[in-house]
Amino acid sequence: MKIARFRLMVQLGFLVVFNAAFLGVHLLPLFVPVLECIGIPVRTVLCNWGILQRNLSFDWEVSPVVPLASLAMFITLGVIFGRAMCGWACPLGITQDALAFLPRLFKKKQKEMPRALHHMLTSLKHVILFVTLVLTGSVGVAYIFDKILGRRYAFSLGVCGHSPFCLVCPAPILFTIVSFLASSLLGGGAPVQIPFISILGLLVLAIYIVPGIMVKRFWCRYICPSGAIMSFFNKLSLINLRKSEHKCTVFCRGHQRICNVACPMRVQVSRDSEPSSNPECIFCYECAGACPNKALGLKLG
């Protein structure tokens, strides 16, 4: 429980820092692999996934230094922390955790997908990542061969030509509304106008909220392409979550499996001596906090 509270405080801290501009504090823009909308004014964090899409499609509105910086940040944070940004810093992550709390108010429990369906759906975010990269990359290739052809091709695809995932991302609606309410209540920064919410926007928001209430971290498990990118670094990260085999009892590992139940990403912690090597691990440390034998801990290298 102490770990859960500490992680919540860290998540809230990141949420405040990422949206500091709405409180009247203007920081240097950060390139962080979390989903925040770069289309929203006065943003402190630049959505690295949104920038990467535009980079591949050669939709560069700024210096080429920005594409290089965004790519470098993906690699640097991935090599150091793996997918930990998903568990400790991502604003969509903390809202998913908040949605998971709602059933408890009505004394209900969240459901779990059948195992076969769960494993199949975990590949969905990689499919979304692949399709997005193919669409934006094809525009970039067209630009390389011929600028006129590239512009025509990008124009024919519209938004799908430079940032297709932004069409189905809940961040623009969700955080514009949240930022508007925060700015209004706290009286800091310039007021933000709530955008017109289209039918597609309502559908995206519903797909984000409703499954998030029913299943732990539904978005992070099955949809998020940014999380899919960061998952490739889990086996390479300098920070690891390792198990002390002599502390992990046979009975607990074979029957209780408390660590498995605690994991919001449904990683089978009890089966692995280094759970963080699993691409689904978000380093939330919930399994370590739940372990009665204190068999799990963070290690460097």
pLDDT band at 121 (very low <50, low <70, confident <90, very high): very high
Least confident of 79-93, 243-257, 282-296: 243-257
Q: List the structure tokens of 192.
A: 């933000």
- The answer to whether residue 192 scores a pLDDT higher than 50 is no
277-to-26, 39, 101, 115 alpha-carbon distances in Å: 37, 34, 27, 20
* Percent of the chain clearing pLDDT 70 (strictly above): 81
Domain that holds residue 119: 2-239
- The answer to whether residue 184 scores a pLDDT higher than 90 is no
- Mean pLDDT for the stretch of residues 93-100: 90
Q: List the structure tokens of 27.
A: 């920081």
pLDDT at 44: 56
pLDDT at 104: 86
- The answer to whether residue 196 scores a pLDDT higher than 60 is no
- The answer to whether residue 130 scores a pLDDT higher than 90 is yes
Instruction: Name the strand (E) or helix (H) holding 299.
Output: strand 296-300
Q: Are 219 and 204 in contact (CB under 8 A)?
A: no
pTM of the model as a whole: 0.85
Domain assignment present for residue 254? The answer is no
- The answer to whether residue 8 scores a pLDDT higher than 50 is yes
Domain assignment present for residue 244? The answer is no
- The answer to whether residue 173 scores a pLDDT higher than 80 is no
Domain assignment present for residue 93? The answer is yes
Spell out the residues 6+ positions from residue 181 whose beta carbon is closer than 8 angstroms to its own. none
The gap between the terminal CA atoms of the chain, to the nearest Å, is 27
User: What is the C-alpha separation between 79 and 101, in angstroms, rounded?
Assistant: 31
Q: List the structure tokens of 228.
A: 């899919």
Least confident of 82-96, 174-188, 232-246, 273-287: 174-188
**What is the number of helices (H) and of strands (E) in the chain?**
15, 4
- Number of structural domains in the chain: 1
Domain assignment present for residue 72? The answer is yes
Check residue 32 and report its DSSP letter: E
pLDDT at 219: 93
pLDDT at 270: 87
Domain assignment present for residue 145? The answer is yes
User: What is the C-alpha separation between 151 and 58, in angstroms, rounded?
Assistant: 10
Domain assignment present for residue 270? The answer is no
- The answer to whether residue 72 scores a pLDDT higher than 90 is no
Over residues 13-60, the pLDDT tens digits come to 888 777 666 666 665 566 677 777 655 555 556 678 888 887 777 755
Over residues 264-287, the pLDDT tens digits come to 999 999 888 888 899 999 999 999
pLDDT band at 217 (very low <50, low <70, confident <90, very high): very high
Domain assignment present for residue 286? The answer is no
User: What is the C-alpha separation between 44 and 30, in angstroms, rounded?
Assistant: 6
- The answer to whether residue 190 scores a pLDDT higher than 50 is no
Domain assignment present for residue 73? The answer is yes
- Mean pLDDT for the stretch of residues 163-175: 81
